[in-house]
Amino acid sequence: MSNVGFTFHTLDEPYWTEDAYYEFSPRQIAVIEHATDELVGMCFAAVDYVIEKNLFHKLKISPEIAAQIKLSWERDDPTLYGRFDLGWDGTGQLKMYEYNADTPTTLLEASIAQYYWKQAYFKHYDQFNSIHEALVEQLQWFKENKLPVSGTMHFAYTEGSEEDMRTAQYLSDVAKEAGIETAIIDMSAIGHNAERECFTDLQDNEIVSMFKLYPWEWMVEEEFAEFAFTDMKYWLEPVWKMVLSNKGLLPILWELYPNHPLLLESYFEEDNTLTNFVKKPILSREGGNITMVEGGKTVASTDGTYGDSGYITQAIHKLPCFDGKYPMIGSWVIGENSFGIGIREDVTLITTNASRFVPHVIR
């Protein structure tokens, strides 16, 4: 897998596995695809709702950043991708756990690695995976409709994370395929030129647009955050994605669509009425600081560094178990539509960054 850029397939333990795979029927894939497309529409309605009702304080978003989110939403700033985390055993009711709308990873393995695996072992089977083609098409649209003709698009990642680096490199390659000139940069190497009123790279070139694997909630705390909305033409993802990447989206969706079959009952912690629930930080990544409570007792939990911004609670909907493994379906959205899935397994009910990626086929 290293020859396609997937160099992080083995960390402390194997992350990529070929000792198992998941098999879906065309009908099951249709369920996932239609559910994902419906969830996208519901999430976009939630952004409108947050803006209309001025609920930014619920999401711990300051008035200054809320104003920028409104502007970005009104401009219809384009989005590239996102990933819904879904729970489903293939027969019952599919449920949404959350939306990784700002900096989702597992992209390279879902788009490229499992495709090459299928071609090697199950060439005559299908796979729900047109992620790469959809990314190329979305970036072509971005080039033709938004990106200045002479502009280079920068792809930024955080130094020290090989997964983030490889993901940024992969998306840079996709952008090149879409006809965009690209450059890779570490977030810490981005400069700001006050006289020219622009961000710059290590060669002092102006950065016109940037894809970033760096969460907005971190960005708005940076030294030059005030210039992020005036001295940069386009960010991918746009700042309005802060609403959707926030776990506070879950109780807001429940308020907008009570008892919707795709949703789990959810509340901000101060409004919680559930006795059996999962407690999640409003702002968190990779399954950190999650607690599962049943009958007043903690039955599962994870460590982490999150939680300062508060918590939400969500009704328990346990992942299915197959041979002692609990699979989470990651349903990929490119632009505004569903284009494929990737599956992560864990040996516990809470999916963490120690889970393993398992490929799938359709037959």
Full DSSP string of 222-254: STTGGGTTTS-SEEES-TTHHHHSSTTHHHHHH
**What pLDDT score does 157 carry?**
94
Model pLDDT for residues 189-221, shown as the tens digit of each residue: 999 999 999 999 999 999 989 999 999 999 999
With tokens 């102006």, the residue in question is: 206
Q: How far is Cα 154 from Cα 298, in angstroms, rounded to an integer?
A: 44
pLDDT < 70: residue spans in the chain: 1-14, 149-150, 307
Q: Measured on CA atoms in the order 246, 64, 66, 225, is the torsion positive or negative?
A: negative
**What pLDDT score does 162 carry?**
83
Model pLDDT for residues 137-178, shown as the tens digit of each residue: 999 999 999 887 667 899 999 887 788 899 999 999 999 999
**What pLDDT score does 250 carry?**
98
**What pLDDT score does 194 carry?**
92
Q: Measured on CA atoms in the order 126, 132, 138, 144, is the torsion positive or negative?
A: negative
**What pLDDT score does 17 carry?**
78
With tokens 């879409």, the residue in question is: 178
**Model pTM above 0.85:** yes
Domain ranges of the chain: 2-246+321-362
With tokens 């746009």, the residue in question is: 238
Give the type of residue at 178. Answer: A
**What pLDDT score does 1 carry?**
46
- The H-assigned helical ranges of the chain are 26-53, 63-74, 107-108, 114-121, 131-145, 162-177, 216-219, 241-244, 249-256
User: What burial letters (b/e) apply to 186-216, b meaning 16+ CB within 10 Å?
Assistant: bbeebebeeeeebbbbeeeebbbbbbbbbbb
